[in-house]
Structure 1
Amino acid sequence: MADLWMPEAEHYDLGDHAPTDRQYPPKAVAHITMDRKASAAKPVPHVSFGRLLSYFTGTGRAAAPHILWDPFTGQLAQFYPADSRSKSVADGPGGTRTNRAGRVVLQIEAVFFPHTIFEGKAYERLVDTPCKGWAELHRWVKSHGVPDVWPMGRPTSFTAHRSEATWEAKGGWYAHAHVPENDHTDPGSWPVFKRTVKPSKPKPKPKPAKPAPAAPPFPGRHFFVLGATNKHALQLQKWLHAGDWGPKYQVGPSETMTQKDLQKVAALQAHYASALGPADGLCGPLTWKYAFEVATGRRKR
């Protein structure tokens, strides 16, 4: 049975679940957040995953998708289970209920806008980004029966193509630009479906290189709030101390998160703002990973 909650995503259940209209075939809807206006002449810095996460769990919860996906970092957050509708497309009177018209209607918001700058490079199209996390995201969507087809054509531009009859009758992937009763024209592009091709002859397996130790699993955001006392806070402080971030410790790291520790976290986030911003001092999974990698020499300052 397919997972209602994507295992690779952080889970932020917004509640207010509602069933889909299961007489229609399964669908996925592709969006981009499109939260800044930029151009080739005037590209704009990337809006961080954390900022969009705060929006969809706060003032933007009335328009939240199932999945928020950052194609630069691979971060994923889920707000509704797969068997519930989400709220990312307009649902006008008459016709199908666009947020519900399928056994599943999985809505995916990529954190992207054209001509966004990430780590010093501008990206015009979503497909030009690293698309980290796409393989895991595609696999989860496919596990819910959504076929690898675009009934209205794979999006290659910001052009609308809408057909109520196609939407009702055919399962697969749809751009926001394809959904009836809507006027958005995103996402403009989307990654291709990768299929596994079996080689005609088996190839000898090379000896695997010994992998570098990975960061310990992220234990949860609540371990790093002001006043929290635990072993994970001590570990984070040791990494921040080794990386020489923010204000100096007078007596060294401890198991309790202080205001100084939050300032040190914010200093790390400010240095890697395109990936970790805003510099709010709150440690999430990516900040935890960067602190580990800088302290152990796996990431250059």
Structure 2
Amino acid sequence: MSVKTGPQRYPGSSRANWYQDDFPGDPMEVNVVVLHTTEGPSLPGYGGGGSAPNLTAVPDFHAKRLRWFQHFDIEVSSRALQNLKGGVETNTLNVCQVELVGTCDPKTHRKWDKAGQRHVFWPEAPEWALEGVARFLSWMHEEHGVPLTGPKSWPAFPQSFGNGRKQRMTASKWGKFEGVCGHMHVPENDHGDPGAIDFAEILRRAKADLDLEEPPADTTPGRPGRPKIPAFPGRKFFRDGAVNDHVLKLGKQLVKRGFGDHYKVGPGRNWSEADRLNVRDFQKSRPELRGDADGFPGPLTWKLLFS
């Protein structure tokens, strides 16, 4: 049985449609996220949970955001992939599955448009929808180590159905894969979702959320280059018992910014209660962070502290 190493609930997600009690899955150490589209305009019933993913993202058009519903723990196998007996493992091979409510089918998109049915056509998804997916992926990278990489080929539906563009992985490649892919890439399956979703833009936003891509320097003549913000290393470096150079770097920056009051001597490599209290003081000083001033740095705390 694999040991669960990260948070099992996506922050802010609803458990109103929780299925794990009725369909217990297998424990696993997640290193893959599979993106689906529901091909329907609202939260599916999933046959009472018998074909449910780990999470579903439902567009809230009024608030311009995604509302998340969690059906299984992050590191418990869900049931949205075809998994043939005696074949390769799909649902249980370290996969967290996400359904995106909407469609990837241009024909369905035109039909719903004509009927006045509000929906997300994922190949042309609005920025707020792409941002919602990106934030989930950045959280999965930060908390569960899922690489922010994936297949290069994301063909449009219906060409993506079956293996029409040769995008589907072989059993061998699937067994070695780590990162983010679509239903269209999984062996033993023929579905073509999520079609031509803008995967490159989603990854760009996810990496930007974690400061994994540095902003370009200001090269205006006569002006200094824009200082680079060090990449956020991940929350695991700032937990009880952690000893590393990231803690020391954080502490020095806190002192530099005037938030070192709780250090008796000075910052060190051991994460301590003094570090947490100093981080909390910094968070309480910023309106963007006051609602989550728990003293543990995340990507936004790190970015604002080093800006």
Give the TM-score normalised by the residue count of structure 2: 0.53
1:183 aligns with 2:190: yes
Q: How does 1:43-192 map to 2 (within 5 A)?
A: 47-49=41-43, 52=44, 55-56=45-46, 59-71=47-59, 72=61, 73-102=65-94, 105-113=95-103, 114=105, 115=109, 116-117=112-113, 124-129=121-126, 130-131=128-129, 133-142=132-141, 143-150=143-150, 152-158=151-157, 159=160, 160=163, 161-162=167-168, 163-190=170-197, 191=199, 192=202
Q: SS at 1:87's partner residue? A: coil
**Deviation of 1:149 (Å):** 1.4
Report whether the alignment pairs 1:31 with 2:21: no
Distance 1:92 1:120, change over 3 A: closer
Tell me: CA distance 1:124–1:111, structure 2 relative to 1, closer, same or farther (3 Å): closer
How far apart are residue 20 of structure 1 and its match?
4.3
Q: Which amino acid aligns with 2:32?
A: K
Runs of 4+ in 1 over 6 A off after TM superposition: 118-122
2:214 to 195, 198, 216: 198
Higher helix fraction (1 or 2): 2
Alpha-carbon distance in structure 2 between the residues aligned to 1:123 and 1:107: 19
Post-superposition offset of 1:127: 4.0
State the Cα deviation string for residues 93-143 of structure 1 (Å, max 9, x = none). Answer: 2232210112xx110100011414498877644443341522331123222
Highest RCO, 1 vs 2 (Cα 8 Å, sep ≥ 6): 1
Give aligned-pair identity as a percent: 25
- Aligned twin of 1:248: none
Call closer, same or farther: CA 1:180–1:2 in 2, change over 3 Å: same
Letter in structure 2 aligned against 1:30: L
Determine helix, strand or coil for the equivalent of 1:133.
Answer: helix
Cα distance in 1 between the residues matched to 2:137 and 2:172 = 25
Report if the CA contact (8 A) 1:31-1:108 is conserved.
Answer: yes
Contact 1:65 1:80 in 2 (8 A): yes
Q: In the aligned structure 2, how far is the partner of 1:8 from the partner of 1:136?
A: 12
Matches within 5 A, 1:256-271: none
> Cα RMSD between the aligned structures?
3.2
CA–CA distance in structure 1, aligned partners of residues 72 and 186 of structure 2? 20
- Specify the SS of the correspondent of 1:136: helix
- 1:123–1:68 distance in 2 versus 1, CA, 3 Å: closer
Letter in 2 for 1:19: D
- Whole-angstrom CA distance in 1 between matches of 2:70 and 2:119: 27
1:5 matches 2:9: yes
Partner-residue secondary structure (3-state), 2:66 = coil
- Matched-pair contact (CA < 8 Å) for 1:112–1:126: no
**Matched residue SS, 1:174:** strand
- SS of 1:137's equivalent in the other structure is helix
Aligned counterparts of 1:48 and 1:179: Cα–Cα separation in 2: 24
